[in-house]
Amino acid sequence: MTAFAFVFPGQGSQAQGMGKEFFREFALARQCFEEAGDALHLNLAQLCFEGSEAELQLTANTQPAVLIVSAAAWKVLHAETGLRPVAAAGHSLGEYSALLAASALTLPEAAAAVRQRGAFMQDAVPAGEGAMAAILGLTAEALARVCEEAAQGEVVRPANYNAPDQIVISGCAAAVERASALAKERGAKRAIPLKVSAPFHCELMQPAAERMAEVLRSISWQKLSSPVISNVEAKPYPGPEAAADLLLRQITSPVRWVESVQAMAGLQAEMFLEIGPGKVLTGLIRRILPEAKTLNLAVPADLQAVQKVR
């Protein structure tokens, strides 16, 4: 039997209509949308299927929307195949989906947590004062030096180590702009400003982390049914008692995605299955491990490919 790693996308993977096919074809998926929606007093189906691009890009909406689409796809996968992963991980927001798939918390708890996480992160920095940019073609060491030089008393730092040749920086808008220009001077192939509502995964998110502390510590964390790799440490959670601390640190710490993928490979993962909207993580995994085998589960038709290799 193939050893699967489950990976769950984060913000940036959202798209209008996401999850609609699962909702239409599976009662279990509809139950997921209803259960999470009831917890939030929010019509998640309407948001995902009919919401405008502007509505979906609001962080407080994006986070529960991406989570519910991933959760519905995973629930159907589990019901149809019984598959259990040798390891799982999620990119930023996706870590909540990974923990949900490992039975560490319930769907209403996860939905409520990410809804508040999104709102707190959106509110942490006034609009226009923060920024993020993807830097292509510089090493982590070279980009760290660029950020140090470009900071000039402001915040700018690596936020997402997405692939060996793609690192996202985050911080004060002017500092990110300086770092982007300097990175290109130092040999970066491209510096791409990202359309985000806040500068995630840097110390400017500390107000959000402080507000999330009570939320995360009120959750009744359960024993994980399979290993989940944390973004912060790029190694498996030691136990449910670490969840609140790791997720709080995640808000202000870089996403160590390259190391997380390598950690899953080290746990003998033979196939990486991206569960949820988009194919962002699949592309990154192929750049991290060119020999990796990957699949996506974004629509019900994808179940056939999973069944063939399981």
The tokens of 137 are what?
């073609």
- Could you give the CA distance from residue 73 to residue 271 in angstroms, rounded to a whole number? 17
- Could you give the CA distance from residue 307 to residue 33 in angstroms, rounded to a whole number? 25
- Could you give the CA distance from residue 9 to residue 90 in angstroms, rounded to a whole number? 6
| Active-site pick, 201, 226, 253, 260 | 201
Which residues, including other chains, have CB under 8 Å from residue 221's CB and lie 6 or more apart?
A: 104, 105, 240, 241, 243, 244
- Could you give the CA distance from residue 155 to residue 151 in angstroms, rounded to a whole number? 6
Q: Using an 8 Å Cβ cutoff, are 10 and 93 in contact?
A: yes
Helix, coil or strand: residue 200: coil
92 in catalytic set: yes
Q: Using an 8 Å Cβ cutoff, are 149 and 181 in contact?
A: no
Residue 90 φ/ψ, nearest 5 degrees: -135, 150
| Active-site pick, 13, 92, 170, 226 | 92
For the annotated catalytic residues, the residue numbers are 92, 201
